[in-house]
Chain A
Amino acid sequence: MNYEALVQHLMFGVTLGCLYGLVAIGYTMVYGVLRLINFAHGDLLMVSAYIAFFGIAMFHLPWPVSFAGSVVLTGLLGILIDRGAYKPLRTSPRISALITAIGLSFLLENLALVIIGGRPKSFPMPSPFDGVFVARGIHVPYLSLWVIGITGVLLVIVLLIVHRTRVGMAMRALSRDVETVRLMGVDADRVISFTFVLGSALAAAGGMMWCMKYPALEPFMGVIPGLKAFVAAVLGGIGNVAGAALGGLLLGLAEILIVAIKPEWSGYRDAIAFGVLIAILLTRPTGILGEELPE
């Protein structure tokens, strides 16, 4: 592999990794606060993509309006899911909430299937994201730059919220001990709602970039990125925001580079990527940046 090819692969790997990372941050935040793996998270990505799609294609809104609307509506859907499905189960065994999350995931997928149908739709690419420039033999789609840039900015914002604001402090506290936080006079439900809004909005941002990069919208489009993002979150240390981004980046790079180095292994891409995951978790069970929490 020559220098140009390597840079090209790195660029594609980082782009894919950023997309995984963005979705993984939402996963990890909800887990950090509730100890709940929100399996419906990937499907929120699908919902956000459809909202943006219908905004542009059916209501002929300008894309910034449609995208913003999609982020807001997906955030609201996040609260709705929490209030409707998870909150009543707050004191039930953890497994009940987990099964509910899986159920919600199927519900969203099949709802989309019934309402919209199973045939893939093309996502209309807004012009600022469209196009490619070539520099020294390396083809860089503008979209890749957007993806990397937006992910970076959102990661910084989330880190600032978590570590520099009062609500962020409450979130971190909740991840330690819910009861004690309640005793301190913090409205835990509001903090949890806020976490869901933020996580869902990140899924929405990821969803729209995902469907611009891979413009085939279908009801099950959230399953694979959702799964990969979950893996990324575990890899980075679930509950840790920076870890999720790092895990996503590593997973994206691993997937791309494995096929790039050994094209004949391209059929085993996921097997190898997940093999890497197992190896890392065997040596570091809490993930790369994860810390052990007292039970």
Chain B
Amino acid sequence: MLRILSLVVVMCLALAAPSWAAEPIPIGALLPMTGVVAAYGQMGWSGVKVAQSMEPEALGRKVELKLVDTKSDKVEAANAVSRLIEKEKVAAILGEMISGNTIAASDAAERSQIPVVSPTATNPIVTQGKKYIFRVCFIDPDQGRIAAKLAKDELKAKSAGLIYDISQDYCVALAAFFKKEFTQAGGTIVAETKFKSGDRDFTPQLSSIKSANPDIIYAPIYYTEAALIAKQARDMGLNAPILAGDGVQAPELIQLGGKAVEGVYFTAHFHKDMISTERGKKFAAIYEKDTGKALDAFSAMGADAYFVILDAIKRAGSSDPKKIREALVATKDFDGVTGKISMQPDGNPIKAMVINKVKDGQFVYVTTITP
């Protein structure tokens, strides 16, 4: 018994030994790699990996990424964040991609005072009243306002039909912000319909939108549902233009939607044709070489979350989560892949917004709107 015990002790010492040298900095990657929004997680992760290969070190120490899958689920996200904090002892966390899961994960991180940087969680509640939660994207009140302006000015819409997912914080909030801005600008919402994540049949909702005959359909939802909704709408002769949010910018939209999603307009974080920073140009080139794919929005946002965390660690001069948090708040004019990032005290950056469109089976850049 004693022999076994001493063997265990020796082995523990042997395993612990390298940690006396320059210990790597563990950073958690909390991403939906499977489940309903797997595309965001997988795109984000491919961007983070390329970003890490581009800048693998901070303070002379290697950055070590600890990936956990949230399965696109709120409960799993909350459990996964606890695992990152308690077991992996991460210095900071990158993620989640969607608002609902980030909100679910943020309580544990806030309590343990571990900074979280979300690439694309746009719901305002994500950072509200939280000291340790940040993001590198714009927020939904702005997105709703720009979408309403786009609907009124570009698409000349006087009436709109709404369809959104009531089980996702992102969809509910963005729909509400659009509704407020659109009605304030003199438009009317003639139909408001809802569904739940996992629903596949939207024909009754779409029929009621069709009978209200709106000028446009506003669908602030995720890519799978957006593709199916576009398909079912076109099949029943509902041909009003579809306007959507940043959630539809996944290749699945076009693969599943095919011809039905042609002409879909949406507000977005990024398009590779708008890259303006040095880091962005370099990153896009490396990304295309490494993956053989054109740089997409969620990969670019994932990379930006990584770069912002790395920059904060460098400026903090330490891997202490509290010092990283102080440095994150002080982020100013940081040259990100998707543009300049300056963090405000509430954890939200000031970011430009992009308008994209689906044309000939591609995401096409239309314009950039600076706040």
Show the binding face of A for B, using Cβ within 8 Å: 1, 5, 8-9, 12, 16, 113, 117-122, 132, 134, 139, 141, 213-216, 218-221, 223-224, 255-260, 263-264, 266-267, 269-270
Contact = CB atoms under 8 A, between A and B. Distances in A.
B35 A118 contact: yes
Contact of A132 (B198, B224, B235): B235
A267 B231 CA distance: 21
Contact of A139 (B166, B211, B227, B235): B235
B161 to A, nearest CB: 10
Output the residue of A8, A134, A139, A259 with the most chain B CB within 10 A. A259
Given A8-B207, A9-B204, A216 B256 contact: yes
29 contacts: A8-B236, A16-B201, A119-B42, A120-B224, A120-B252, A122-B252, A122-B255, A213-B201, A214-B200, A214-B201, A215-B228, A216-B200, A216-B227, A216-B228, A216-B252, A224-B198, A255-B204, A256-B203, A256-B204, A257-B204, A259-B204, A260-B204, A260-B207, A260-B208, A266-B195, A266-B208, A267-B195, A269-B196, A270-B196
B166 A267 contact: yes
Interface stretch (B83-91, B95-103, B106-114, B186-194): B186-194
Given A134-B237, A214-B201, A270-B196, A259 B255 contact: no
Contacts of A264: 192
A14 B211 CA distance: 20
A141 B235 contact: yes
Contacts of A269: 195-196, 199
Contacts of A259: 193, 204-205, 208
B33 interface: yes
B258 interface: yes
B201 A255 contact: yes
B38 interface: yes
A9 B42 CA distance: 38
Nearest to B198: A224
B337 interface: no
A219 B237 CA distance: 31
B39 interface: yes
B236 A139 contact: yes
Output the residue of A9, A121, A213, A223 with the most chain B CB within 10 A. A213
Nearest to B204: A259
B224 A216 contact: yes
A139 B234 CA distance: 10
B34 interface: yes
Given A139-B237, A141-B235, A263 B256 contact: no
A120 B226 CA distance: 13
Interface string B204-227: 110110010000000000001001
Contacts of A219: 34
Contacts of A220: 35
Given A5-B207, A224-B200, A263-B193, 15 more contacts: A12-B203, A120-B224, A122-B252, A122-B256, A122-B258, A134-B237, A139-B237, A216-B252, A218-B224, A223-B198, A224-B198, A259-B204, A267-B166, A267-B194, A267-B196
A215 B34 contact: no
Contact of B39 (A119, A132, A214, A221): A119
A118 B193 contact: no
Given A215-B231, A216-B228, A266-B193, A118 B33 contact: yes
A43 to B, nearest CB: 15
A8 B206 CA distance: 11
Nearest to A260: B204
A259 B204 CA distance: 6
A179 to B, nearest CB: 42
Contacts of A12: 201, 203-204, 207
A263 B205 contact: yes
A255 to B, nearest CB: 7
A236 to B, nearest CB: 20
A192 B34 CA distance: 36
A12 B49 CA distance: 45
Contacts of B193: 259, 263, 266
B38 A118 contact: yes
Output the residue of A5, A139, A264 with the most chain B CB within 10 A. A139
Output the residue of B194, B199, B204, B211 with the most chain A CB within 10 A. B204
Contacts of A122: 252, 255-256, 258
Contacts of A215: 228, 231, 256
A265 to B, nearest CB: 9
B190 to A, nearest CB: 11
